[in-house]
Amino acid sequence: MNLTNSILRVDVAIIGGGIAGLWLLSRLRKRGYSALLIESEALGAGQTICSQGIIHGGVKYALNGKATEAAKLIAEMPAIWRRCLNGEGEIDLRGSLLVEHQYLLATRSPRSWLTGFLANKLMPGRMERLSGVDANDYPPALRQATFQGTVYRLDEPIVDVASVLAAFAERHREAIVLCDGPAAPSGDGAITLRYPNYPMLAIRPSCTVFAAGAGNSAVPWAPLQQRPLHMVLVRGLGLPGPMYGHFVESGDVPRLTITTHCDANGHLVWYLGGALAESGVKRDSQEQIRVARRELAALLPWVDWTKTQFATFTVKRAESRQDGGSRPMGPSVIRDGRTLAVWPTKLALAPLLAEQVEKMLRTLDLKPKPVDFRILDEWPRPAVATYPWDREEIVWS
Ligand SMILES: Cc1cc2nc3c(=O)[nH]c(=O)nc-3n(C[C@H](O)[C@H](O)[C@H](O)COP(=O)(O)OP(=O)(O)OC[C@H]3O[C@@H](n4cnc5c(N)ncnc54)[C@H](O)[C@@H]3O)c2cc1C
């Protein structure tokens, strides 16, 4: 391979291969732009592989009973993702669906917030109240005569994030490269692609998009905020089958959000987020496990939790900085000349982010032009990141 002193000119260089960078890459290539994505670790290595894979349609965002701006923006996302999951959208994500629906579990009798919430204009058709234990339409973990709450089925699918990432990687392999260490443009805008034992290659983009999550901290004019979470994993014989849902009470963050995944050995893992993960950042792992056990025992008291194992890990959400550190309303796109810094804010919002970036590129008068990527044929490609529950450093107890 002779890459010494080689230069590759592209329309757009995308730095970061999480869901934001990958969806954008796919969109831009579809529109005829020559786009190259550069990843320094593994695809989804930041937040994406740690996400719960919920394609929110706004229900969680509308928990305060109001049709917030955030709820409106996200309302169309399940339909967009579903088209892709059915092989009819802009990227073929067939095989990446975990479940069609998740559940909203109101453990006490519906209060005023729920009345307002159900009256929300965004909600009709997006959720259905289920009949009950006797009708057998509850998720398996709730099929107990002792469950007293109200259960709604939400029109919000859950995806297998690793297969989503793999679908993008496979479809756009020639335009995704691995670099040794964080990629960054130098003063003249060129990005030097390095990898041990490979001759360096200069990428000269007309436009650069930082879609690097926390790695966007390299962009001084686009301040970010990081909101930590202390997530909990549960596995073992006691698990009462798959569960996907939010236990909600009076707050606007669910008390507990549960998704279910399969580990590398084919065993079920419950993945716990919600208020437990937000408040848990103040606790160490053992204390967080104690609180998680207490929460599960309170919400699902008929389950024998003694045969389950728990583990925890912390991860930070990376977003555009907001006043007071609140969650941004939607995706963020910040531009300085021909460099953009972007954050989707949610996995579900990646298609909307791609649309916003595409619109911005049109204002930059960037004419799509084809580029031959064969010079990169032998360059190393990033793997898909490992799920938290399959990582060696995770300690189960
Ligand atoms: C625990 C948790 C659960 C979540 N659950 C959900 C959910 O259920 N539904 C939902 O919609 N959203 C969810 N989210 C939010 C969602 O995961 C994120 O909004 C989304 O994944 C962010 O994607 P991203 O591509 O911007 O960043 P990331 O996924 O962080 O990807 C950034 C990538 O850039 C790479 N990188 C960084 N710096 C550089 C550099 N200089 N050069 C090259 N590469 C670089 C990193 O290695 C990484 O692969 C969750 C988030 C967390 C933390």
For the Cβ of 212 lying below 6 angstroms from any atom of ligand 1, the answer is: yes
Which span out of 322-326, 339-343, 362-366 was modeled with the highest average pLDDT? 339-343
Q: Whose CA is nearest to atom 21 of ligand 1?
A: 48
Overall fold of domain 1-53+160-223+321-389 = FAD/NAD(P)-binding domain (3.50.50)
Query: Which pTM does this prediction carry?
Result: 0.95
Domain ranges of the chain: 1-53+160-223+321-389
* Residue to mutate (ligand 1; options 39, 41, 48; most atoms within 8 A of CB): 48
For the Cβ of 317 lying below 6 angstroms from any atom of ligand 1, the answer is: yes
Beta-carbon contacts of residue 274 (< 8 Å; ≥ 6 apart): 246, 247, 253, 254, 255, 256, 257
d(CA 129, CA 93): 29
pLDDT of residue 1: 47
Whether residue 117 is predicted with pLDDT greater than 60 in this model: the reply is no
Higher-confidence position of 130 and 61: 130
For the Cβ of 243 lying below 6 angstroms from any atom of ligand 1, the answer is: no
Higher-confidence position of 228 and 132: 228
**Model confidence at 141, in pLDDT bands (50, 70, 90)?**
confident
pLDDT of residue 63: 59
Please state which of the ranges 59-68, 153-162, 381-390 shows the lowest mean pLDDT: 59-68
Whether residue 259 is predicted with pLDDT greater than 60 in this model: the reply is yes
d(CA 315, CA 58): 23
How do residues 7-34 score in pLDDT, each as one tens digit? Answer: 999 999 999 999 999 999 999 999 999 9
Ligand 1 atom closest to residue 44's alpha carbon, by position in its atom list? 49
For the Cβ of 185 lying below 6 angstroms from any atom of ligand 1, the answer is: no
Higher-confidence position of 109 and 196: 196
For the Cβ of 229 lying below 6 angstroms from any atom of ligand 1, the answer is: yes
The average pLDDT across 110-121 equals 53
**Model confidence at 66, in pLDDT bands (50, 70, 90)?**
low
For the Cβ of 288 lying below 6 angstroms from any atom of ligand 1, the answer is: no
Closest-CA residue to 40 (of 345, 380, 317): 380
Q: Is the dihedral of CA 39, 42, 43, 47 positive or negative?
A: negative
Whether residue 112 is predicted with pLDDT greater than 50 in this model: the reply is no
Ligand 1 atom closest to residue 184's alpha carbon, by position in its atom list? 41
pLDDT of residue 27: 98
* Residue to mutate (ligand 1; options 233, 253, 276, 347; most atoms within 8 A of CB): 347
pLDDT of residue 120: 54
pLDDT of residue 216: 98
pLDDT of residue 118: 58
- CA triple 341-344-346, angle to 5 deg: 155
Whether residue 92 is predicted with pLDDT greater than 90 in this model: the reply is yes
For the Cβ of 38 lying below 6 angstroms from any atom of ligand 1, the answer is: yes
Please state which of the ranges 53-57, 59-63, 221-225, 358-362 shows the lowest mean pLDDT: 59-63
21 Cα–ligand 1 center, Å = 9
pLDDT of residue 256: 96
48 Cα–ligand 1 center, Å = 4
Higher-confidence position of 112 and 169: 169
CB-neighbour burial class of residue 284 (10 A; exposed 0-12, middle 13-18, buried 19+):
exposed
Taking each helix axis from N to C terminus, what angle separates 350-363 and 19-30, rounded to the nearest 10 degrees? Answer: 50
Using an 8 Å Cβ cutoff, are 342 and 24 in contact?
Answer: yes
The average pLDDT across 145-164 equals 89
For the Cβ of 50 lying below 6 angstroms from any atom of ligand 1, the answer is: yes
Go through the chain and tell me how many residues it has. 397
Long-range contacts of 186-189 (CB under 8 A, 24+ apart): 189/338
For the Cβ of 37 lying below 6 angstroms from any atom of ligand 1, the answer is: no
**Model confidence at 107, in pLDDT bands (50, 70, 90)?**
confident
Residue 33 DSSP symbol: -
Q: How, if at all, do strands 224-236 and 158-159 pair? A: unpaired
What does pLDDT average to over the chain?
A: 91
| Residue 317: φ, ψ to 5° | -75, 135
Whether residue 392 is predicted with pLDDT greater than 90 in this model: the reply is yes
For the Cβ of 14 lying below 6 angstroms from any atom of ligand 1, the answer is: no
For the Cβ of 213 lying below 6 angstroms from any atom of ligand 1, the answer is: yes
pLDDT of residue 30: 96
For the Cβ of 164 lying below 6 angstroms from any atom of ligand 1, the answer is: no
Q: Whose CA is nearest to atom 51 of ligand 1?
A: 51
Please state which of the ranges 166-170, 175-179, 297-301, 343-347 shows the lowest mean pLDDT: 297-301
The average pLDDT across 133-142 equals 78
Beta-carbon contacts of residue 377 (< 8 Å; ≥ 6 apart): 174
